Amino acid sequence: MAVGRRDKGQPSRGSRIAIAIAIGVLLGCVFAFLYPHGFFNSDPPNTTSQARRLAKSSFLTGSSSCESSERVNMLKSDIVSLSDKNSELKKQVRELTEKLRIAEQGTDNAQKQVLALGQQHKAGPFGTVKALRTYPTVIPDESVNPRLAKILEEIAVNKEIIVALANSNVKIMLEVWFTSIKRVGLKNYLVVALDDQIVEFCKSNNVPVYKRDPDNGLDSIGRTGGNHAVSGLKFRILREFLQLGYGVLLSDVDIVYLQNPFDHLYRDSDVESMTDGHNNMTAYGYDDVFDEPTMGWARYAHTMRIWVYNSGFFYIRPTIASIELLDRVADRLAHENLWDQAVFNEELYFPSHPGYEGLHASKRTMDIYMFMNSKVLFKTVRKDDKLKKLKPVIVHVNYHPDKYPRMLAVVEFYVNGKQNALDPFPDGSE
């Protein structure tokens, strides 16, 4: 009985063996987890970690190579995009520069008037109100003609210069022209040569000369054209002078200089020109009454008359209005068979009306006894003892075809004091 109870309370031998095996397997799993390479592994302790790092590095290198390629493509795309943006910004800069050119036109007195007009003002007391007389000067742009800009920088005085166009047809008059300028002591003058012969002639006489870059259309006129044809070229050629910021005293070559003209300019208008008028009325304007008897009570109509400006001698300031004038005249002369002086005056005087927008340029008429045309000289001055004592600034032999001998006579009369030098010539032409 006692033995039977002991067998029942203790586990059997087979059960103990199974338990031992289970414990061994469990311990083996634990050691296998803790020591996966065994207790006596001959490799250095961190070889495995190095291998793992190498494998990871190899993976990252491959990955970086892919990423670098993608990055390069992205950078190329960014460069193209930035290049497009840069082009657009350059375009905007050019547009803004042009707007700035118009909005900020120099720093002279006219500029102050423009700035004053930027705000609304109350009108001042009676007799004190003054409107804008002229536009401000343009911002010089040397890029339009760097070669000409360099020449003008060397010879211009106070950003002003006398300019004449000449070809071989006017060679003898040109010599009288520049000799009179030298006699006055002027240095700021330039001959725009229209052929190679004039270039050599000017250089041989130590006269500043400039020949434009080749232009088939202009060159053919310049080489063979007569006085009026050559005169029409000046409106295109002068544009560059104004763009470079220079005030130009445009001069034909049938002119004798007796004083420094720059001492007698007002510079208060876009264009300051001599006139073809021969007395105060014709030169400065007058009320011309038109009579139409059939109108009865309203038979008399008042009109304003003024004789034209001479397009062979005028001072033009470098303003937007002046450049527009040159553009308008040059464009019309290029498309119509017209006299340049007529077009010059039409553009200056014709007002805006239906179908036409007039030019808003200010103008001043030069003193007829200081800037004298040959009609004033031969018809009036030489016959008046008081007027004969006046010394004009220039004499322009514009009314007479026998220009050269009359130019020589002017020199004899005003420079050499020969009182009868003008007598042999008729008032007009024969």
Helices 227-243, 340-349: crossing angle, 10 deg rounding: 50
> Which residue carries 């005087």 as its tokens?
349
Instruction: Compute the mean pLDDT over every residue in the chain, rounded to the nearest whole number.
Output: 84
Tokens of 57: 């590095």
What pLDDT shows up at residue 220? 55
DSSP string, 172-234: HHHHHHHHHHHHHT---EEEEESSHHHHHHHHHTT--EEEPPP-HHHHHHHHH--HHHHHHHH
pLDDT band at 218 (very low <50, low <70, confident <90, very high): low
Kindly provide the residue ranges of all beta strands, DSSP E only, lying in 216-339, ordered along the sequence. 247-251, 255-257, 271-275, 286-291, 300-305, 309-316
**2-16, 152-166, 330-344: segment of lowest average pLDDT:** 2-16
Quote the distance between the C-alpha of residue 191 and its chain's center: 22
120 pLDDT more than 80: no
Q: Within a 10 A sphere around the Cβ of 101, how many other Cβ atoms?
A: 14
- In sequence order, the β-bridge partners of residue 316 are 248, 271
**80-94, 210-224, 245-259, 384-398: segment of lowest average pLDDT:** 210-224
pLDDT band at 101 (very low <50, low <70, confident <90, very high): low
Strand 286-291 and strand 160-166: the pairing is unpaired
Q: List, for residues 254-294, the tens digit of each pLDDT value.
A: 999 999 999 999 999 999 999 999 999 999 999 999 999 99
Q: List, for residues 130-181, the tens digit of each pLDDT value.
A: 887 778 999 999 999 999 999 999 999 999 999 999 999 999 999 999 999 9
pLDDT band at 91 (very low <50, low <70, confident <90, very high): confident
What pLDDT shows up at residue 348? 97
309 pLDDT more than 60: yes
**Amino acid of residue 425:** F
What pLDDT shows up at residue 46? 47
- In sequence order, the β-bridge partners of residue 162 are 189, 249
Q: List, for residues 363-380, the tens digit of each pLDDT value.
A: 999 999 999 999 999 999
